[in-house]
């Protein structure tokens, strides 16, 4: 059996993402794969593996969904099976085509293909209705005319049994008549519901006569106004699995208590559905400094706390994509964190490191000065220009090089100069020498300040015998190495620096005050200078801005007169030293 793994050799020298990964005969073990291995050994499903990813189209997918997508589609790939993409579209008040389209786009972007196995729960509305009539005929379901509040009050507690509804013993004929009239639209919303008739004293609250149909007048994005009653998720999901011949219904742990209901419904319909899939639960993803609740994410969008579902601070796949995350990095993350039965928190740095591993190999290097300070080389003529050869990737000479012009006036990073250097500071300071990366060694000879005593520019002299790459340059060593751009050729750019959505590593969203935990400085917009070649960057093209981090050309806001780049992730910084 082949199992998907990710390794550095899968990465190509391209900005395009990898849609297929290398395979290894070494299994990556987890409890779900162990279950499937045993099922294959015993030929429980005839050696067949069929999974599904069933999103509700009421929001955009987030990184937690990516874990499930990678797991379900990944299992199908590993075992040469099939994974279905099925939309649970049973609540038209909250669902819509925008969300359907975004989900399709996100799954494709991650690199997965459902082939001909795209389904909607609404495909099964007629069958679901007929199955509910069958349950009524068998005395397994009844129409209840209590209000929602009355039903909740009679449901009981974890330590107290529920109380039967006064309508629980309606006759089969009366229930069928009422249910058919519900379908025909005779009753207003909330007047009646259909409930499964199980056990109001069950220790499992999900088995205390759960509602399986309700009256809901709302326009459905696929079926229009054909229906005014809609099935509930727990009823719909298991039947949809069975109708699609799913073998392993993999879901998160919050559905563990729902599994007895899943099994009960399919047991009642055992002679009417093709199979009884096995539900398997795993722990959902909890990622620090963000939330995995679509309800909370919706509140952030609708409340204007973020700029939309694709805001680069959002944990949505659309937001991560706009931030500059690659599909490969997310698939690597999903594989690396694995699956288990235990809830735990995963640090944001794990996700970021997966991205760094990918981009460090594939991102072309470019130079940008984010917080510019003017530097004048005093012993160069005013019209001086010299070409400096700059590699596109220091570790990949096959990627070639480009030319930057050295002129008398440059821009350097303001943080690369300190008038009174602290201990361990090895960049530019009065009387101190540093190397202009790919150029010459310079020495600060003068500091120019304005009336407010703020540094406006610095003057330096350069040593013409120290150009990078020449024999003479090796005779002299300096500790500092700073990047630069010619003021004559540098282009202005809008650069957006993003930080964590929440300042708290584990934001408590149970309180309505959770919004106070939003990062105050989670987005900063600066005017920076970039090298001329970046003016040709295409939307979603990523780069390493040397010594600054990884950046991506914004997919929506790229402008010909002022390119826009989003910082994807910072570089690793160890003792003040930056990776190339």
Task: Name the least confident of 11-15, 20-24, 410-414, 568-572.
Answer: 20-24
Q: List, for residues 303-320, the tens digit of each pLDDT value.
A: 999 999 999 999 999 999
**Spatial contact of 235 and 212, defined as CB atoms under 8 Å apart:** yes
pLDDT of residue 521: 86
Kind of pairing, strands 193-196 and 229-231?
unpaired
Choice among 284, 402, 523, 579 that is catalytic: 284
| Catalytic residue status for 56 | yes
pLDDT of residue 195: 98
Concatenate the DSSP letters of all residues of 490-520 into one string. Answer: -EEEEEEEE--SBSSSS--TTSTTGGGGB-T
Choice among 208, 294, 408, 547 that is catalytic: 294
Choice among 44, 56, 437, 457 that is catalytic: 56
Confidence of residue 516 (pLDDT cuts 50, 70, 90): confident
Confidence of residue 561 (pLDDT cuts 50, 70, 90): low
pLDDT of residue 563: 87
pLDDT of residue 550: 98
| Catalytic residue status for 38 | no
Confidence of residue 29 (pLDDT cuts 50, 70, 90): confident
User: Averaged over 424-439, what is the pLDDT?
Assistant: 94
Compute CA distances 218 → 109, 200, 232, 272, whole Å.
Answer: 31, 31, 15, 30
pLDDT of residue 14: 39
pLDDT of residue 119: 98
Q: pLDDT exceeding 90 applies to what percent of the chain?
A: 85
Structure tokens at 427: 């960049």
- Torsion angle defined by CA atoms of residues 352, 357, 359 and 361, in that order, rounded to the nearest 10 degrees: 170
User: Averaged over 364-391, what is the pLDDT?
Assistant: 97
Confidence of residue 559 (pLDDT cuts 50, 70, 90): low
Give me the chain's average pLDDT, please: 91
pTM: 0.90
Kindly state the DSSP code that residue 480 receives in the 8-state scheme: E
**Spatial contact of 141 and 106, defined as CB atoms under 8 Å apart:** no
Task: Name the least confident of 28-37, 272-281, 555-564.
Answer: 555-564
pLDDT of residue 1: 36
- What the chain holds in terms of domains, given with CATH numbers, is 125-232 (3.90.800.10), 371-488 (2.40.240.10)
Determine the Cα–Cα distance for residues 434 and 482; give it in Å rounded to an integer. 7
Task: Name the least confident of 93-102, 255-264, 288-297, 509-518.
Answer: 509-518
């Amino acid at each position: 059996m082949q199992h998907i793994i990710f390794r550095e050799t899968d990465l190509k020298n391209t900005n395009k993402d990898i849609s297929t990964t290398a395979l290894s005969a070494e299994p990556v073990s987890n409890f779900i794969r162990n279950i499937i291995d045993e099922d294959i050994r015993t030929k429980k499903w005839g050696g067949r593996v069929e999974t599904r990813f069933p999103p509700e189209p009421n929001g955009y997918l987030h990184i937690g969904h990516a874990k499930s997508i990678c797991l379900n589609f990944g299992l199908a790939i590993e075992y040469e099976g099939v994974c279905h993409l099925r939309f649970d579209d049973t609540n038209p008040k909250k669902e819509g085509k925008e969300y359907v389209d975004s989900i399709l786009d996100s799954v494709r972007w991650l690199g997965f293909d459902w082939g001909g196995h795209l389904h909607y729960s609404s495909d099964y509305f007629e069958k679901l209705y007929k199955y509910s009539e069958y349950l009524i005929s068998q005395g397994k379901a009844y129409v209840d005319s209590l209000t929602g509040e009355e039903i909740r009050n009679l449901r009981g507690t974890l330590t107290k049994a529920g109380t039967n509804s006064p309508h629980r013993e309606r006759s089969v004929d009366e229930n069928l008549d009422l249910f058919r009239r519900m379908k025909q639209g005779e009753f207003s919303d909330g007047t009646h519901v259909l409930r499964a008739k199980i056990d109001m004293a069950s220790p499992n609250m999900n088995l205390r006569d759960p509602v399986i149909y309700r009256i809901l007048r709302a326009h459905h994005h696929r079926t229009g106004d054909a229906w005014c009653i809609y099935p509930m998720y727990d009823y719909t999901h298991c039947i949809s699995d069975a109708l699609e011949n799913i073998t392993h219904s993999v879901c998160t742990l919050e559905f563990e208590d729902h599994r007895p209901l899943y099994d009960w419904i399919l047991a009642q319909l055992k002679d009417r559905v093709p199979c009884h899939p096995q539900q398997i639960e795993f722990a959902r993803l909890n990622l620090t400094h963000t939330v995995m609740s679509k309800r909370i994410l919706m509140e952030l969008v609708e409340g204007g706390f973020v700029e939309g579902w694709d805001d680069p601070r959002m944990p949505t796949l659309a937001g991560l994509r706009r931030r500059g995350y690659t599909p490969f990095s997310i698939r690597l993350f999903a594989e690396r964190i694995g699956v288990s039965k235990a809830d735990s928190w995963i640090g944001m740095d794990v996700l970021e490191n997966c991205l760094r591993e990918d981009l460090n190999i594939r991102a072309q290097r470019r130079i940008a000065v984010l917080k510019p300070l003017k530097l004048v080389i005093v012993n160069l003529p005013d019209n001086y220009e010299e070409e400096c050869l700059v590699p596109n990737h220091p570790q990949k000479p096959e990627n070639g090089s480009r030319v930057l012009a050295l002129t008398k006036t440059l821009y350097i990073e303001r943080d690369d100069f300190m008038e009174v250097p602290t201990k361990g500071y090895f960049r530019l300071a009065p009387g101190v020498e540093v190397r202009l990366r790919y150029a010459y060694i310079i020495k600060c000879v003068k500091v120019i300040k304005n009336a407010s005593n703020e540094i406006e520019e610095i003057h330096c002299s350069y040593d013409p015998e120290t150009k990078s790459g020449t024999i003479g340059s090796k005779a002299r060593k300096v500790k500092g190495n700073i990047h630069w751009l010619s003021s004559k050729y540098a282009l202005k750019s809008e650069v957006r620096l993003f930080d964590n959505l929440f300042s708290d590593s584990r934001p408590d969203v149970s309180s309505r005050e959770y919004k106070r935990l939003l990062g105050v400085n989670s987005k900063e917009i600066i005017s920076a200078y970039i090298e001329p070649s970046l003016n040709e960057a295409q939307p979603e093209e990523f780069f390493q801005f040397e010594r600054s981090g990884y950046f991506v050309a914004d997919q929506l806001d790229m402008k010909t007169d002022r390119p826009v780049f989003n910082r994807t992730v910072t570089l690793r910084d160890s003792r003040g030293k930056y990776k190339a």
